[in-house]
Amino acid sequence: MRGVSVVVLLTLAVASGHLSVWNKGTYDCGYPDPNSDRPVWPLWQTDKWWWHSALDCKPNGTQSIPSGGSLALEFSSNKAHTSMGQGLLANPTQRPNPWPTGAVTAWGNLHASVYPDDIMGCALAIAYKSDRYSVTPKDFIVFSVVQDCPTKQLQTFQIPQMPACPSGGCQCTWVWVNKYHQSYMSPFACNVTNPNARLSVPTPQVPTDCTNGGSCVSGAKTPLFYGTPTQSFAPLVPIRDTIFQLSPRYKSTWGFNEGAQSVFPSRARAAAAVEKVEKEVYAFKPNSPSRIDVSVGPQMVGFDNPGGDIDNGYLTNVASANDCQTQCVNRTPALTGQCYAWSWNTQSKECWLKGVAFNPVSNPNMIAGTVNRVWVA
Cβ-based neighbour number of residue 61 at 10 Å = 12
291 and 255 co-located in one domain: no
Residues 6+ apart with CB under 8 A from 330: none
245 and 98 co-located in one domain: yes
247 and 132 co-located in one domain: yes
Give Dmax (Cα) for the chain.
Answer: 90
10 and 58 co-located in one domain: yes
Tell me whether strands 154-158 and 259-260 are parallel, antiparallel or unpaired: unpaired
3-state secondary structure of 243: coil
262 and 275 co-located in one domain: no
Which run of H or E residues covers position 294? strand 291-296
3-state SS, one letter per residue, for 97-150: CCCCCCCECCCCECCCCCCCCCCCCEEEEEECCCCHHHCCHHHCEEEEEECCCC
Residue ending a domain, choose from 267, 293, 320: 267
3-state secondary structure of 194: coil
Structural domains of the chain, count: 2
219 and 278 co-located in one domain: no
240 and 294 co-located in one domain: no
293 and 144 co-located in one domain: no
**pLDDT for residue 94:** 81
Q: What is the dihedral of CA 11, 186, 257, 207, to 10 degrees?
A: 120
Closest CA to 127 of 69, 189, 66: 189
Residue ending a domain, choose from 213, 243, 267: 267
pTM of the model: 0.64
End-to-end C-alpha distance for the chain, whole angstroms:
80
**pLDDT for residue 296:** 86
Q: What is the CATH number for 99? A: 2.70.50
Q: Consecutive 10-residue runs of the chain (377 residues): their mean pLDDT?
A: 30 46 90 80 62 87 97 88 81 71 51 56 95 91 93 92 94 84 85 93 88 85 70 46 60 93 77 44 41 81 84 82 91 64 91 81 89 69
**pLDDT for residue 120:** 81
Instruction: List 214's β-bridge partners, or say none.
Output: none
70 and 206 co-located in one domain: yes
Alpha helix (H) ranges present in the chain?
A: 2-16, 269-281, 321-330
Question: How far is Cα 86 from Cα 189, in angstroms, rounded to an integer?
Answer: 23
**pLDDT for residue 269:** 42
307 and 365 co-located in one domain: yes
DSSP annotation of 333: T
Return the ∠ at Cα 221 (arms to 153 and 63), rounded to 5°: 40
Number of helices followed by number of strands (H, E) in the chain: 3, 14
Residues 6+ apart with CB under 8 A from 347: 365
Question: How far is Cα 364 from Cα 346, in angstroms, rounded to an integer?
Answer: 9
241 and 175 co-located in one domain: yes
Residue ending a domain, choose from 236, 267, 298: 267
**pLDDT for residue 38:** 77
203 and 95 co-located in one domain: yes
Range of the domain at 18: 1-267
Q: What is the CATH number for 349? A: 3.50.4.10
**pLDDT for residue 371:** 86
CB 150 within 8 A of CB 199: no
